[in-house]
Amino acid sequence: MMQPSGQTRALIDGFGRRIDYVRLSITDRCDLRCRYCMSEKMTFLPRSDLLTIEELAQLADVLVARGVRRIRLTGGEPLVRRGVLDLVELIGDHLGRGLDEVTMTTNATQLAGMADRLFAAGMRRLNVSLDSRDAERFRTITRRGDLNQVLGGIAAAKEAAFAIKINMVALKGLNEDEIPDMVAWCGEQGFGLTLIETMPLGEVDEDRTDRYLPLDAVKRALEERFTLVPTVHRTGGPARYVEVQETRTRLGFITPLSNNFCAGCNRIRITATGTIYGCLGHDQKIELRDLFRSGGLAAVDAALDRVVAGKPERHNFDIQRAEPAVERHMNVTGG
Ligand code: SAM
C-alpha cells in the first residue's frame, strides 16, 4: 500500500479526481421504512452475507493506507448493527494518523444510548435524518417511527457536544410546508440543515415523480423569509451551501436531479457485503468480500485500484424515466 519511498499510493480516478472519502455501509437493515427509500415489505440480506466487524475494521485500515481521510458510516441504519461501537473505536484509532474524521449518518432512533460512546471514540459530527417534526407525519413518512425517540437521540448528541447536521428529504405534498420552520428550528438549535431531492434508487411502493420537489423553487420561497448568503463551502459532494444570515447556520441543497455536480466528486461507496461502487447512480462495481476472504488485504488493495480506475464520470439520474436509475435501494448503498 505504501510505495518504497514511503509515499501513500493515492486513489486517483481516470478523470484525475482524488478519492479521499468513503461511505461505508455496515448494514442494509433499518428500523424505519421511509416511503421514498424502501418498500413496506423490504427483505433484508442474511446476516451471514455481511462483512464482519473485524473485516470492516481491516477494510478501513486499507482505505486509510490508500489516502482516504474521511470515512462516513451509513446503512441501512448503522446504529442497529451489532458491534457498531467497537467498529467506531477501531476506526477511531486512525484519527490524527492519516484519518481526519469518522462520521455517521443516522436516523437517531438509537442515539440516546450511544452518543457518549461515539463521541469518546473520536466521532465529532453526525448527520441525522429528520423529514418532519410533526409526530403523525413523521410516522407516516417513516411508516413506524416515534418522533420523540428521535428527538431524544438528537438532544443526547447535542448534549455530548456533537456538531449536528439534519438531512431532510423534500417531499411534495408531504413535508414541503414544514421546510421554513425546519430552517428556523435548526437555526435555534445550532444545527446545519441539508435539503435533499428524492432520487430514483430502487423500486418503492409509490411513484417518486409524485413526490419530487425541485429545490430551486424551495430556495426561492425560503428567500422570502430568510436572507440566504452564498458560501464557498464545499465537501466534494453534490450539496451546495448558503448561510442563513438570521441564524448564522449553514443550509445545503442536494440537487442531483436539477443539477449535476459530479466533476468534483471525491468519494466511493462500499456496501455492507463489501461491494464497492464508484458512483451512487451507476452499477459499476467490484465484489470485494470473496476476494478479501481468499486473497487478504493485497486483494482489497488491488480491487480499490480497479474500481477507482473505472469510476464513471457522472451519475445518470433522471426522475422522468419510468425505471429507477439503478435497481438497488438507498439502504443498500448507504446515503
Ligand atoms: N439510516 C440512516 C439515516 O436515516 O440517515 C442512514 C441511511 S439513509 C439511506 C441515508 C439518507 O438517505 C437519509 O437522509 C435518507 O433520507 C436518504 N434517502 C434514502 N432514500 C433516498 C432517496 N430515494 N432519495 C433521496 N434521499 C434518500
Give 326 or 203, the one with higher predicted confidence.
Answer: 203
Cα 222 to ligand 1 centroid, rounded to whole Å: 23
Residue 93, pLDDT > 90, answer: yes
pLDDT per residue over 174-233, tens digit each? 999 999 999 999 999 999 999 999 887 777 887 777 888 989 999 999 999 999 999 988
pLDDT of residue 296: 96
Cα 95 to ligand 1 centroid, rounded to whole Å: 26
What's CA 94's distance to the chain center, in Å?
Answer: 21
Which triple of cell numbers denotes residue 193? 440543515
Cα 36 to ligand 1 centroid, rounded to whole Å: 9
Q: What percent of the chain has pLDDT over 70?
A: 93
Cα 7 to ligand 1 centroid, rounded to whole Å: 36
Closest ligand 1 atom to residue 38 Cα is 20
pLDDT of residue 10: 95
What's CA 224's distance to the chain center, in Å?
Answer: 30
pLDDT of residue 32: 98
Phi/psi for 165 (5° steps) reads: -120, 130
Q: What is the 3 state secondary structure string of the chain?
A: CECCCCCECCCECCCCCECCEEEEECCCCCCCCCCCCCCCCCCCCCHHHCCCHHHHHHHHHHHHHCCCCEEEEECCCHHHCCCHHHHHHHHHCCECCCECEEEEEECCCCHHHCHHHHHHCCCCEEEEECCCCCHHHHHHHHCCCCHHHHHHHHHHHHHCCCEEEEEEEEECCCCHHHHHHHHHHHHHHCCEEEEEECCCECCCCCCHHHCECCHHHHHHHHCCCCCEEECCCCCCCCEEEEEECCCCEEEEEECCCCCCCHHHCCEEEECCCCEEECCCCCCCEEECHHHHHHHHHHHHHHHHHHHHHCCCCCCCCCCCCCCCCECCCHHHHCC
73 in Cβ contact with 84 (< 8 Å)? yes
Closest ligand 1 atom to residue 197 Cα is 25
Residue 313, pLDDT > 70, answer: yes
Among 27, 169, 172, 255, the mutation site with the greatest number of ligand 1 atoms within 8 A of its Cβ is 169
pLDDT per residue over 2-50, tens digit each? 555 556 799 999 999 999 999 999 999 999 999 999 999 999 999 999 9
Ligand 1 pocket, 132 CB below 6 A? Answer: no
Ligand 1 pocket, 333 CB below 6 A? Answer: no
pLDDT per residue over 57-80, tens digit each? 999 999 999 999 999 999 999 999
Cα 9 to ligand 1 centroid, rounded to whole Å: 32
Mean pLDDT confidence for 273-286: 91
pLDDT per residue over 281-312, tens digit each? 888 899 999 999 999 999 999 999 999 999 99
Task: Please choose, from the candidates 279, 278, 235, the residue with its C-alpha nearest in 3D space to the C-alpha of residue 253.
Answer: 235
Q: What percent of the chain has pLDDT over 90?
A: 77
pLDDT of residue 259: 62
Mean pLDDT confidence for 152-169: 98
pLDDT of residue 238: 76
Give 319 or 89, the one with higher predicted confidence.
Answer: 89
User: pTM for this one?
Assistant: 0.94
pLDDT per residue over 105-151, tens digit each? 999 999 999 999 999 999 999 999 999 999 999 999 999 999 999 99
Which triple of cell numbers denotes residue 72? 462516513
